[in-house]
């Protein structure tokens, strides 16, 4: 009985994700779903990325956390409109659902938007299970998390179009084998590009921004 209820929830989410995808296509908005464990640097990445692509690209940001408006407040300082979803109101869910994205997106002027970036709830498991109607998924993994996370949490790496290896400025202080991480990522998703970045020093950002702009152009 419980399995049936869970299946119903997933079906309803898929239906809403289809609706979102059609809406975003009609409005010509490119949508990225950014996922990672808490603290890997998603919000910092967004702050620095927005600094590089605005005002050429009109952006909107949806951020998900169980509690607090901290991330939306950080994003608003970049000048981009930001909406915070707190899943506390839905029992503290560990992911954003297609329904919550539909509701948040209705507060934006999608006609004037080129790029909608969703920072999902920090978690390497649940967000990968829920389609929100995005065009691409980007997984962020920081070098302080250990090399083996792609093997332990394969779904997120299998379902993503790009992996960003963040915090490479910290490599001199760590026993971390970046080659091994890349080997594990390739084992899970052989086609996926991996870009090494630092959201602190902006190393690797040229490559990341180029990837992003190319994907936006491809949709138009």
Ligand X SMILES: Nc1nc2c(ncn2[C@@H]2O[C@H](COP(=O)(O)OP(=O)(O)O)[C@@H](O)[C@H]2O)c(=O)[nH]1
Nearest approach, Cβ of residue 190 and Mg ion (Å): 29
Tell me the sheet residues that pair with 162.
Answer: 138
Asked if 196 is part of the footprint of Mg ion (rule: CB under 5 A), the reply reads no
Partner that binds at residue 100, options Mg ion, ligand X, none, CB closer than 5 to 8 Å by kind: none
Among 43, 97, 166, 181, binds Mg ion (CB under 5 A): 43
Partner that binds at residue 166, options Mg ion, ligand X, none, CB closer than 5 to 8 Å by kind: ligand X
CB atoms closer than 10 angstroms to residue 208:
22
Segment interacting with Mg ion (CB under 5 A) among 68-76, 77-85, 98-106, 139-147: 68-76
**Given the rule CB under 6 A, which residues bind ligand X?**
36, 38-44, 122, 166-167, 169-170, 198-200
Q: At what angle do helices 42-53 and 205-219 cross, to 10 degrees?
A: 70
| Cα-to-chain-centroid distance, residue 124 | 11
Question: Is residue 95 a contact partner of residue 121, using CB atoms and an 8 Å limit?
Answer: yes
Question: Is residue 9 a contact partner of residue 98, using CB atoms and an 8 Å limit?
Answer: no
Nearest approach, Cβ of residue 214 and ligand X (Å): 23
Going from the C-alpha of 152 to that of each of 93, 94, 141, 187, 213, the distances in angstroms are 21, 18, 13, 12, 31
Nearest approach, Cβ of residue 160 and ligand X (Å): 15
Task: Please give the residue whose beta carbon sits closest to Mg ion in the complex.
Answer: 43
Nearest approach, Cβ of residue 47 and ligand X (Å): 8
Rounded distance, CA 127 to CA 134, Å? 12
Minimum CB distance to Mg ion smaller for 122 or for 133 = 122
Asked if 71 is part of the footprint of Mg ion (rule: CB under 5 A), the reply reads yes
Tell me the sheet residues that pair with 114.
Answer: none
Task: Please give the residue whose beta carbon sits closest to ligand X in the complex.
Answer: 41
Q: Which residues of the chain form contacts with Mg ion (CB under 5 A)? A: 42-43, 71
């Amino acid at each position: 009985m419980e399995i049936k209820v869970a299946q119903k929830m997933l079906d309803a989410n898929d239906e809403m994700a289809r609706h979102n995808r059609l809406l975003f296509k009609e409005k010509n908005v490119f949508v990225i779903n950014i996922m990672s464990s808490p603290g890997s640097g998603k919000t910092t990445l967004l702050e620095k990325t927005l600094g590089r692509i605005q005002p050429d690209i009109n952006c909107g940001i949806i951020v998900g956390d169980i509690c607090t408006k901290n991330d939306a407040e950080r994003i608003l300082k970049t000048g981009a409109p930001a909406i915070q979803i707190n899943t506390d109101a839905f029992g503290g869910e560990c992911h954003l659902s297609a329904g919550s994205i539909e509701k948040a997106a209705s507060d934006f002027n999608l006609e004037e938007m080129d790029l909608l970036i969703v920072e999902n709830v920090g978690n390497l498991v649940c967000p990968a299970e829920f389609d929100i109607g995005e065009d691409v998924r980007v997984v962020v993994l920081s070098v302080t998390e250990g090399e083996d996370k792609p093997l332990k949490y394969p779904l997120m790496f299998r379902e993503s179009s790009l992996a960003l290896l963040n915090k490479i400025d910290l490599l001199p202080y760590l026993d971390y084998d970046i080659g091994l991480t890349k080997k594990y990522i390739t084992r899970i998703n052989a086609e996926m590009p991996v870009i090494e970045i630092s959201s602190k020093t902006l190393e690797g950002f040229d490559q990341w921004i180029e990837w992003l702009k190319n994907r936006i152009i491809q949709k138009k």
